[in-house]
């Protein structure tokens, strides 16, 4: 879980640096929007993984066990 939180902080830093780069005209608007969209998706996925890692047993308890009675 610590690795996921560290990664989340690094993604946030990349977002800030990307915005600064765009403000300094290092990227075209189209390229910035493409990168921003991809980073937003990565952030959503990472947030889901962090939430899932906080409550791993909650999901397992809600699943019904399968029985192997052949």
Residue 68 lies in a domain: no
Looking at per-residue pLDDT, the higher value among 60 and 52 belongs to 52
Residue 63 lies in a domain: no
Looking at per-residue pLDDT, the higher value among 14 and 61 belongs to 14
User: How much is the pLDDT for 36?
Assistant: 96
Residue 28 lies in a domain: yes
Residue 60 lies in a domain: no
Q: What is the mean pLDDT of residues 16-41?
A: 95
User: How much is the pLDDT for 67?
Assistant: 60
User: What tokens does 47 get?
Assistant: 């947030």
Which residue has 């397992």 as its token pair? 60
Residue 70 lies in a domain: no
Residue 45 lies in a domain: yes
Mean predicted lDDT score pLDDT of the chain: 87
Looking at per-residue pLDDT, the higher value among 58 and 37 belongs to 37
Contact in structure between 39 and 15 (CB atoms under 8 Å):
yes
Contact in structure between 46 and 11 (CB atoms under 8 Å):
yes
The CA distance from 46 to 20, in Å, is 23
Domains in the chain, number: 1
List pLDDT tens digits, range 56-70: 766 555 666 566 655
User: What tokens does 20 get?
Assistant: 């600064």
């Amino acid at each position: 879980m610590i690795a996921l939180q560290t990664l989340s902080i690094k993604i946030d830093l990349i977002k800030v640096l990307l915005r600064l780069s765009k403000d300094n005209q290092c990227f075209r608007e189209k390229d910035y929007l493409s990168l921003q969209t991809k980073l937003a998706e990565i952030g959503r996925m990472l947030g889901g993984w962090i939430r899932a890692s906080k409550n791993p047993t909650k999901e397992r308890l809600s699943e019904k066990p399968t029985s192997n009675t052949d």
